[in-house]
Each structure stands twice: as C-alpha cells, then as structure tokens.
Structure 1
C-alpha cells in the first residue's frame, strides 16, 4: 500500500468532514471524491441523524458521480473516506464504477472499538469492501489517522451510551 502526501491531504479533509458531522450530532463519517487529475469534485458527511439511516457520504458521492461524470471519469476518480465503506456504500461504488477507495480506518477496527465501548451492533454485517465489490482497488487503513478517527467515534459513542 502506497499512501502519498496528496492521499493524506484528501484523507485529512475527509476526517475534517467527519468532525463536522460529529459537531452536528451525527456519526463521524466524511468522504471526498477526487478526479483522476487530483481535483476535489464533491464532498459530504453523514446525515443519518438529520435525515435517514441511508444518508452516508459514500452513497452521496456515488449518486453524484453517477449523475455527473462519464464512466471513464468515474473509474479514474478516487474516494477518500474517514471509514471503510459499509456494504450499502460499497455496492453503490461498484454499481457506478468509481475507481480507487482510500480509507482512514477499517470497518473491522470500528466494530471492535464499538464493542469495547458497549455499543450495540449495527443492523448490517461488517464486510470488507472487496467482499462486496471483488474488483475494487482499496487502500487502508492509514495508521497516521487512526487515533484521531478513533477519538471522533469514541466521542459519538459517549453521546449514545453516556458513561
């Protein structure tokens, strides 16, 4: 796995968006879509509490890209995200033909942390992206961001299950 300085910059933006989601009372997830030329095209954060449980930023990116980019532009793009895609978002990514995925922390990591914090399991199985989209190009987790992202999720867990 080769994470470049540009990858880290975009991942840090995804983590900033996750922090914004947390500040708005939502689960801390954020994502950025970057063109093959390195231009940020679209970004979003979770809107689960505000709207509905399917309002994940990775799904918003897939919808946006599917409506606005050509198949070649989609396959050349990279999705940077604070957390590995859930199965719903991975499937959307695969269906619209987006390119590389780079995530800061993995679903298995998050699941272990949430269990340790006493959070109930989610309603959907925790699956690696490649199990949902076998041909996906995936890189992560990125250890440089683990502590920061873990802190965001721990802060959210405390709002759900106060100590």
Structure 2
C-alpha cells in the first residue's frame, strides 16, 4: 500500500498526542516515540511511549500497544482499530501489529524521514534494516507522514542525537 499524507483533523489530533508522548519519552531519557491506540468509535483505548532507556530495545510503544490489544481488545474489533504513532513502525513493530490483527497505522514521520535525519547528523543506523510498514506487513493500511509535524519531530530526534553523542 502506498503512503498518503491525506490525513483528517481527527488523525492530526491523535498524532499531536503521539508527539507529546514522544516529548515525554525524550525527557525521561528514552528515544522520542509515542503511540496511541484508538477504537472504531474514535475512543483512545491505550497509549504508550518509548521505554528503551533501561536497556530493552524491544520496548517500543507500537509493540506495547499490540501486546495490550492482544490482551484487552476482542479479535473481531482489532482490525477496526487505528494505531497512531509519532514514527513509522520498525519491522519488529510492523510484524507485531500484523500478527495481532490491528487495523490502520497512521504515522507522523516516515522511516525514510527518520533515516535521512539520522544520516544528516552522522548517526549510524540501527541493527535492523529500516523498512516501511508494508514491506513487512503488506496488508496493513497506512497513512502518513504528517508534514505539519515534521519540524517538531525532527527537533526531538535532533535533541536525542545530541544527548546520545554526549553520553
């Protein structure tokens, strides 16, 4: 599926919350990522932020939401739910999302944007190939990126890069 930037006001409201969660994550020493799980009626079911600072690099909010949904959302409702996230799912999170059977993913910044930013700051890429969601989970509908939020996210990731370069 092709990415699209045709996002609704509803989408942008949830994406702004994801950016707030990303900001909270950065302030707590984590990488700046945040995600929100929304049911078919638009009700926020659960939200989380990156929690990798403790050394467990699998503590991505997107995977945490998939795990939470597996335990708390009926299987027949999951495909109608939407996961909003500050950054496009990595391959691990895309796979978790697909295996749990969640629906649409809407992201504020794409994997391509994150890779470009990191390269521009001279940072190494992570240990996993940076693939778009549909390269891992081809049946999942996706939306994003949100150009309105790119500058805010780029700044959060820049601050993270600077912090990590010092430590």
For the criterion TM > 0.5, the same-fold answer is yes
Normalising by structure 1, we get a TM-score of: 0.97
What is the CA-CA distance between 1:50 and the residue it aligns to?
2.5
Please give the alpha-carbon distance, in whole angstroms, between the structure 2 residues aligned to 1:67 and 1:41.
12
Tell me which residue corresponds to 2:71. 67
Matched residue SS, 2:76: helix
Please give the alpha-carbon distance, in whole angstroms, between the structure 2 residues aligned to 1:113 and 1:4.
26
Do the aligned residues in 2 keep the contact of 1:118 with 1:161 (CA within 8 Å)? no
Count of residues in correspondence between the two structures: 162
Gaps of 5+ in 1: none
Matched residue SS, 1:52: coil
Runs of 4+ in structure 1 deviating by more than 3 angstroms, as ranges, are none
Q: What's the RMSD between the two structures over aligned residues? A: 0.9
Gaps of 5+ in 2: none
Instruction: With a CA cutoff of 8 Å and minimum separation of 6, indicate the structure with the bigger relative contact order.
Output: 2
Q: Write out per-residue CA displacement over residues 93-127 of structure 1, whole angstroms, 9 at most, x where no aligned residue.
A: 00000000000001111011101101111000000
Please give the alpha-carbon distance, in whole angstroms, between the structure 2 residues aligned to 1:44 and 1:146.
20
Please give the alpha-carbon distance, in whole angstroms, between the structure 1 residues aligned to 2:40 and 2:162.
38
Please give the alpha-carbon distance, in whole angstroms, between the structure 2 residues aligned to 1:79 and 1:46.
15
Counting only pairs closer than 5 Å after superposition, residues 1-163 of structure 1 correspond to structure 2 as 1=4, 2-162=6-166
Normalising by structure 2, we get a TM-score of: 0.95
Please give the alpha-carbon distance, in whole angstroms, between the structure 2 residues aligned to 1:147 and 1:40.
25
